[in-house]
Amino acid sequence: MASMPTRQLGKNGPRVSAIGFGAMGLSAFYGTPASDEERFKVLDRAIELGSTYIDSADVYGDSEDLLGKYFKKYPQQREKVFLATKFANIILPGGKRVVRGDAQYARESIAKSLKRLGLDSVDLYYVHRIDKNVPIEETVGALKELVDAGKIKNIGLSECSSDTLRRAYAVHPIAAVQIEYSPFSLDIEHENIGLLKACRELGVAIVCYSPLSRGILTGQIQSPDDLEETDSRKQMPRFSKENFSKNLQLVETITSIAKKKNCTPGQLTLAWILAQGEDFIVIPGTTKIKNLEENVATAKIKLSKEEEEEIRKACEKADIVGGRYPEARSGFLDAPIPIPGIGWNWSGLELELELELELELELVGIGIGIGRNWLELAVN
């Protein structure tokens, strides 16, 4: 096994494992969680392999509680781990989601997270979703106070727009932006989004969640029927029975390239993402040690320029069907995202529309609803 490479988190931040571990799946959303002891074994192996950037959140089921129990039982492991967690994304009883990013809630949230984790501080604290009713300056201002108090060491944003990032950075340096990025989701590269550009101008690391597009790019899922009934992916548009088979076409292309490289499609995908720049970090998650070992083994895979370009051309040629999230959850994303068949959902941007443009859009059957900081396009 090759030694784990490290990458710098932000302009002046610490170095962390290039291949981190997304802990969400151990506790929530992907079927019934295993026992604590079984999950401890996965965490043990991740740390042993050098995948020591561990990513959690207060909304990931019992994730923080699990990590708290793990560090209590194995206190020597804490100093080996770079621990990230998040706040502001709330799931209410019944499944309704709300976002809260006010200063008071930030202070309350970190207190509760630290109690669950059994720690005095966390290494990185993300704003999980951007509260469109609270200025980002207030949210980050509160986090700056938490840095000064020693409760958090670095600040991150998740699913933010380039404008939000720049405004946040003016209050306090942002170490990382966590965003979905994979061959299925290259949105941050688009000029009219500008998020990748903003990150690089400011020296902010890009932490890629769902780098294997929630498992599609492993090649191990051949049908939505392969998933448990309680698996949240069954609600994702890309996993619908209508869309899934069409989306497998890109997986098949990547699998073909991987065979020539003598690696798995998942490994090829992770290697390709890491090849996009030294500022890219991936945090694939899994509940199985064999998958964890496969992911970490990506560290030894190097792609030629020709191989990188072949994969990019396949991504650009692919016709991905279905959005990243169900429509009801897309409104919680601050960054604009492409809506299949419509165009861009300009979430998080204040746009002034000329009356003439509004009339033209109405003529082609597109209704416009304007919120405080977002523009939602919906076919009538």
Q: Is residue 46 a contact partner of residue 294, using CB atoms and an 8 Å limit?
A: no
pLDDT confidence band for 348 (50 / 70 / 90): very low
| Helix or strand holding residue 171 (H, E) | helix 162-171
Out of 271, 299, 317, a domain closes at: 317
Q: Can you tell me the distance from the alpha carbon of 110 to that of 139, in angstroms, rounded to the nearest whole number?
A: 13
- For residues 251 and 371, membership in a common domain is answered with no
Instruction: Examine residue 1 and state whether it is found in any structural domain, yes or no.
Output: no
Full domain range(s) for residue 353: 327-379
331 and 254 in a common domain:
no
- The two three-digit tokens of residue 182, written as one number: 């994979």
What is the tens place of the pLDDT at every residue in 123-143? 999 999 999 999 999 999 999
Q: Which two tokens stand for residue 15?
A: 């170095």
The tens digit of pLDDT for each residue in 224-255 reads: 545 555 555 546 666 665 666 666 788 889 99
Tokens of 258: 């991987």
Distance CA 148, CA 160 (A): 24
Residues 373, 295, single domain; the answer is no
Quote the longest CA-to-CA distance of the chain. 65
| Among the ranges given (242-256, 265-279, 287-301), the one the predictor scored with the smallest mean pLDDT | 242-256
Residue type, 268: L
Residue 92's region, left for phi above 0, alpha for psi from -120 to 50, else beta, is: beta
Q: Give the CATH number of the domain where residue 148 resides.
A: 3.20.20.100
205-209 and 176-180: which strand pairing? parallel
Catalytic residue ranges: 60
How many domains does one find in the chain?
A: 2
Q: Are residues 151 and 284 in the same domain?
A: yes
Quick one: 256 and 312 in the same domain? yes
